[in-house]
Amino acid sequence: MNKNIKNKKPVVLITGYLGSGKTTLLNNLLRQETRRVALIVNDMGSINVDASILKKEGANVAECPMFELQNGCICCTLRDEFIKQIEKISAIDSVEVIFVEASGISDPGAVSASFLAYEEDNPDTNVYLTSVVTVVDADRIYREFLDDLKKQKNEKVDENNLTAEEISTLIVDQIEFCNFIVLNKCDLLDEIQLAEVEKIVREFQTRAPIYHSINGNIELEKITTREPFNFEQIDSSSAIQKAINSLNEPNRAQQGCTGEYGISSFVYEEKRPFNREKFANFVNNNYPKELIRAKGYIWFSDADADVQLFEQAGRNSSVMEVSYWIDALVEEQKKAFLEQNPDVKENWDEEFGDRENQIVFIGKGYNQEEIKKALESCLDEKAIA
């Protein structure tokens, strides 16, 4: 092992496109990790839903510091803030390892370059980058992006005129710039389909080991290492080599990911409950195809004690009961909880308590007002009256 890193804290960067399963993977890794962990969770929405999920479900999260970065990506608009948080964590003696979950549209090459530049400028820092893990949604690659990826592989790429409007370009960047790949959701494809996906992924990523996964289950030791991340080796193996060049683009940090890829987000917030059947009909039959990803907590009028997690990624969507609302507790328990967590009172509603529908929608070319109207029509009529 390099003597210069012997007493330094390793940093593991988890990247991957929207809905690939990064948070689920991170949750599973935390259950296996015996070292003291610090987390940086980045979400491009104005509400950091990934961090909320980790807080509700994570095994070790309650015992480790978590830094939430939102309203942008750590590869561009939040780059400086990301470095500041790394500096803060480096000063926490109890932390032994740092996990960073990047936004779904973050460029891992730019994130890695920023981090390595920080290491070079601060040779005495006690943190260093080790793993860049890209989570790939095998099902989505096969159903939606396979033709685009094949086209990119067969065409000669002009490095000075890359068409960044194509979402597949971002996926390629994420696949190319890593030293570990987790091919997730493998249970949704048969052997032939999975082999086809793995083949195209391997054509873009010639070095990194590819591990198959279902629901983000992977052994921690497979995707972590104590060796420093070899930026030059990864970059030199890239067919596109866009990641490091993007740092030299003067408008990159100001423009942000939403400008470059044409992706934007908005948050829908409403205290009143959804009607379960109406919401299901909207999701199953009238859901806008322009929405790439959605994620948030909701509640239904026929189950007012339960916190439901709604998630959508491409053609796949789900609603799952994950917790309970504080207002649903018996009076004694509710009073005790609010006394111990006074911040919950800040958003408390006289009628609905802490119950709330709060969903981040991410997409390209969608009509925000039409989506909001559609969601309004899903609200329970008794709650509207």
Q: What does the alpha-carbon distance between residue 355 and residue 122 come to, in Å, rounded to a whole number?
A: 46
Q: What does the alpha-carbon distance between residue 246 and residue 170 come to, in Å, rounded to a whole number?
A: 12
- Which CATH number fits the domain that encloses residue 60? 3.40.50.300
Judge if 220 and 155 occupy the same domain.
yes
pLDDT in tens, 15-39: 999 889 998 999 889 888 888 888 9
- Find where tokens 């597949």 sit: 168
Judge if 220 and 273 occupy the same domain.
no
Judge if 310 and 239 occupy the same domain.
no
For 166-175, 288-297, 352-361, 371-380, which range has the lowest pLDDT when averaged over its residues? 166-175
Which 3-state string (H, E, C) describes the chain?
CCHHHCCCEEEEEEEECCCCCHHHHHHHHHHHCCCCEEEEEEECCCCCHHHHHHHHHCCCHHHCCEEEEECCCCCCCCHHHHHHHHHHHHCCCCCCEEEEECCCCCCHHHHHHHHHHHHHHCCCCCEEEEEEEEEEEHHHHHHHHHHHHHHHHHCCCCCCCCCCCCHHHHHHHHHHCCCEEEEECHHHCCHHHHHHHHHHHHHHCCCCCEEECCCCCCCHHHCCCCCCCCHHHHHHCCCCCCCCHHHHCCCHHHHHHHHHHCCEEEEEEECCCECHHHHHHHHHHCCCCCEEEEEEEEEECCEEEEEEEEEEECCEEEEEEEEECHHHCCHHHHHHHHHHCHHHHHHCECCCECCCEEEEEEECCCCHHHHHHHHHCCECHHHHC
pLDDT in tens, 310-333: 988 777 788 988 888 999 999 999
Share of the chain above pLDDT 90, in %: 45
CB 379, CB 274: distance < 8 Å: yes
Judge if 27 and 173 occupy the same domain.
yes
pLDDT in tens, 106-162: 889 889 989 999 999 998 899 999 999 999 999 999 988 777 666 666 654 443 333
**Looking at residue 347, what is its pLDDT?**
86
Give exposure, 276-290, as e/b (b: 16+ Cβ within 10 Å).
bebbeebbeeebeee
Would 258 be classed as within a structural domain?
Answer: no
Check residue 168 and give left, alpha or beta (phi > 0: left; psi -120 to 50: alpha).
Answer: alpha
**Which among 239-248, 256-265, 340-349 has the top mean pLDDT?**
340-349
pLDDT in tens, 251-305: 544 455 555 556 778 889 999 999 999 999 999 999 998 888 888 899 999 999 9
pLDDT in tens, 150-200: 666 665 444 333 333 447 777 888 998 999 999 999 999 999 999 999 998
Q: What does the alpha-carbon distance between residue 71 and residue 103 come to, in Å, rounded to a whole number?
A: 10
**Looking at residue 59, what is its pLDDT?**
52
Examine the fold and report which residue of 203, 228, 250 is the final residue of a domain before the chain moves on.
250
Judge if 171 and 207 occupy the same domain.
yes
Across residues 40-56, what is the average pLDDT? 73
CB 6, CB 95: distance < 8 Å: no
Tell me the average pLDDT of the chain: 83
**Which among 33-37, 62-66, 71-75 has the top mean pLDDT?**
33-37
Judge if 215 and 276 occupy the same domain.
no
Judge if 269 and 243 occupy the same domain.
no
Within 13 A of 304's CA, how many CA atoms are on the CB side?
14
Judge if 279 and 238 occupy the same domain.
no
**Looking at residue 383, what is its pLDDT?**
63
**Looking at residue 171, what is its pLDDT?**
85
**Looking at residue 312, what is its pLDDT?**
87
Would 256 be classed as within a structural domain?
Answer: no
**Looking at residue 101, what is its pLDDT?**
93
Would 257 be classed as within a structural domain?
Answer: no
Judge if 161 and 242 occupy the same domain.
yes
Angle between the 108-121 and 79-90 helix axes, to the nearest 10 degrees?
Answer: 50
Residue with the bigger pLDDT between 364 and 101: it is: 101
**Looking at residue 188, what is its pLDDT?**
96
Q: φ, ψ for residue 210 (rounded to 5)?
A: -110, 120
Q: What does the alpha-carbon distance between residue 193 and residue 199 come to, in Å, rounded to a whole number?
A: 10
pLDDT band at 378 (very low <50, low <70, confident <90, very high): very high
Would 91 be classed as within a structural domain?
Answer: yes
- Which CATH number fits the domain that encloses residue 310? 3.30.1220.10
Would 41 be classed as within a structural domain?
Answer: yes
Q: In total, how many domains does the chain have?
A: 2
Write out the residue range of the structural domain in which residue 322 sits. Answer: 264-384
Judge if 205 and 330 occupy the same domain.
no
Judge if 111 and 213 occupy the same domain.
yes
pLDDT band at 213 (very low <50, low <70, confident <90, very high): very high
Q: What angle do CA 144, 145, 151 make, to 5 degrees?
A: 140
pTM (2 d.p.): 0.72
Residue with the bigger pLDDT between 45 and 238: it is: 45
Judge if 161 and 189 occupy the same domain.
yes
373 has pLDDT over 90: yes
Examine the fold and report which residue of 250, 279, 303 is the final residue of a domain before the chain moves on.
250
Would 259 be classed as within a structural domain?
Answer: no
